[in-house]
């Protein structure tokens, strides 16, 4: 959704905007994968967050504060630099 907003797509009938967003999403996923080798959360953090026990382990091991913060910071930087109009 953030890419859609940043690419200027504001109505579902905007087909050119849809293509811009798909292209932006493809570039984003490629860049993220190149940086971190994965795009799947379970692979990135090593926990299945759908499992309550693993989610608790992730919390106890500060995965959200350490790993997730790193990924979110990268995404914020990417969005700021790559999609600025």
Residue 84's pLDDT is 59
- Spell 72-84 as b/e; 16+ CB within 10 A means b: eeeeeeebeeebe
Tens of pLDDT along the chain (85 residues) come to 777 777 776 666 668 878 888 898 999 999 999 999 999 999 999 999 999 999 999 999 999 999 999 999 999 999 888 755 5
Domain of 9, in residue numbers = 2-82
| Total structural domains within the chain | 1
Q: What CA dihedral angle connects 56, 2, 10 and 18, to 10 degrees?
A: -100
Angle at Cα 19 formed by Cα 16 and Cα 23, nearest 5°?
145
Q: How many CB atoms lie within 10 A of CB 35?
A: 11
């Amino acid at each position: 959704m953030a890419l859609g907003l940043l690419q200027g797509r504001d109505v579902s009938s905007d087909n050119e905007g849809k293509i811009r967003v798909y292209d932006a999403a493809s570039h984003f996923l490629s860049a993220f994968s190149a940086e971190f080798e994965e795009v799947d959360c379970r692979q990135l953090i090593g926990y299945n967050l759908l499992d309550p026990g693993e989610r608790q382990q992730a919390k106890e091991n500060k995965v959200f504060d350490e790993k997730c913060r790193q990924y979110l910071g990268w995404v914020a930087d990417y969005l700021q630099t790559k999609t600025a109009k």
